[in-house]
Amino acid sequence: MLMADITGWALRTLQHFYGYDSFRGRQLDVITAILQHRDVLAVMPTGAGKSICYQIPACAPGINGKPALVLVITPLRALMRDQVAHLSTHGIPAAFIDSETTGTERAMTYQAAREGHIRLLYVAPERLVSPEFLRFAQTLRIRLVAVDEAHCVFQWGQDFRPDYLGIAAFIEQLPERPVIAACTATATPTVREGIIQNLHLQDPLQVISNFDRPNLYFGRYEAHSKQDRTACITQYAKTHRSESGIVYCTSRARTEELTEALKTAGVQAKYFHAKMDEAGKAYVQDAFLEGRLKVIVATTAFGMGVDKPDVRWVINDGAPSSLEEYYQEAGRAGRDGKPASCYVIWGSYEFDWQRQRIEESAGSALDNQQERSQAKDAALDRCQAMERYCTTHGCLRAHMLRYFGEEPSERRCGSCDFCTGSSRLAGAAHTRNSTPAVFGRTSAFHVEQSEEEHAIDADLMQSVLHFIQAVYRDQGTGYSTVKIVNALHGSRSVSIMGSGLNQIDGYGSLADTSGTRIRAAIRMLLDDGQLTHGNHGIILPGSLEGSTNL
Digitized pLDDT (tens) for each residue of the chain, 550 residues in all: 556 689 999 999 999 999 999 999 899 999 999 999 999 999 987 777 889 999 999 999 877 667 789 999 988 777 788 889 889 989 999 999 998 899 999 999 999 999 999 999 999 888 999 999 999 999 999 999 999 888 877 655 444 467 778 899 999 999 999 999 999 988 888 889 989 998 999 999 999 988 899 999 999 998 888 999 999 999 999 999 999 999 999 899 999 999 999 999 999 999 999 888 888 988 998 899 899 999 999 987 666 556 789 999 999 999 998 998 899 899 899 989 999 999 999 987 788 788 878 877 766 666 677 777 777 788 888 888 898 899 888 899 999 999 888 888 777 888 999 999 876 675 555 444 433 333 333 322 223 334 444 457 889 999 999 999 999 999 999 998 888 999 999 999 888 999 999 999 999 999 999 887 898 888 789 878 899 877 555 789 987 643 433 3
* Calpha distance 548→282 (Å, rounded): 47
How many folded domains does the chain comprise? 3
pLDDT of residue 442: 33
- Domain of residue 343 covers 216-445
With beta carbons less than 8 A apart as the criterion, state whether 324 and 382 touch: yes
One domain, residues 484 and 436: no
One domain, residues 455 and 441: no
pLDDT of residue 76: 76
pLDDT of residue 248: 95
One domain, residues 328 and 433: yes
One domain, residues 437 and 352: yes
* Calpha distance 457→453 (Å, rounded): 9
* Calpha distance 307→333 (Å, rounded): 10
CA 315 vs. chain centroid, Å, equals 15
CA 279 vs. chain centroid, Å, equals 27
* DSSP helix/strand/coil, 484: helix
One domain, residues 101 and 157: yes
With beta carbons less than 8 A apart as the criterion, state whether 202 and 196 touch: no
One domain, residues 99 and 229: no
Domain stops at, among 166, 184, 208: 208
Indicate the pTM of the whole model.
Answer: 0.72
Q: By CB neighbour count within 10 A (0-12 exposed, 13-18 middle, 19+ buried), where does 307 fall? A: middle
The greatest distance separating any two alpha carbons of the chain, rounded to the nearest whole angstrom, comes to 75
* Calpha distance 111→117 (Å, rounded): 9
* Calpha distance 322→155 (Å, rounded): 10
CA 295 vs. chain centroid, Å, equals 22
Quickly count: other Cβ atoms within 10 Å of residue 544's Cβ: 15
Residue 113's φ and ψ, nearest 5 degrees, are -65, -45
* Calpha distance 115→140 (Å, rounded): 9
Distances (CA, A) of 55 to 116, 307, 313: 15, 15, 29
Residue 44's φ and ψ, nearest 5 degrees, are -130, 135
One domain, residues 299 and 265: yes
CATH assignment at residue 482: 1.10.10.10
pLDDT of residue 214: 92
With beta carbons less than 8 A apart as the criterion, state whether 335 and 305 touch: no
Map 353-386 to HEC letters: HHHHHHHHHCCCCCCCHHHHHHHHHHHHHHHHHH
With beta carbons less than 8 A apart as the criterion, state whether 109 and 102 touch: no
Which of 159, 206, 176 is closest to 71 using CA atoms? 176
One domain, residues 185 and 244: no
One domain, residues 74 and 187: yes
* Pairing of β 269-272 and β 311-317: unpaired
* DSSP helix/strand/coil, 543: coil
Distances (CA, A) of 440 to 63, 334, 354, 388, 476: 56, 24, 19, 9, 31
pLDDT of residue 274: 81
One domain, residues 89 and 116: yes
**HSE-CB for 505 with a 13 A CA cutoff:** 8
pLDDT of residue 470: 96
pLDDT of residue 536: 53
* Calpha distance 175→138 (Å, rounded): 6
Q: By CB neighbour count within 10 A (0-12 exposed, 13-18 middle, 19+ buried), where does 140 fall? A: buried
Which of 113, 55, 110 is closest to 88 using CA atoms? 55
One domain, residues 121 and 237: no
Domain stops at, among 192, 208, 224: 208
pLDDT of residue 444: 28
One domain, residues 431 and 336: yes
Domain stops at, among 445, 461, 482: 445
| CA end-to-end span of the chain | 42
CATH assignment at residue 201: 3.40.50.300
With beta carbons less than 8 A apart as the criterion, state whether 51 and 8 touch: no
* Calpha distance 188→379 (Å, rounded): 13
* DSSP helix/strand/coil, 231: helix
Q: Which residues contact 416 (CB under 8 A, 6 or more apart)?
A: 217, 218, 219, 395, 396, 397
* DSSP helix/strand/coil, 479: strand
Which of 427, 399, 424 is closest to 411 using CA atoms? 399
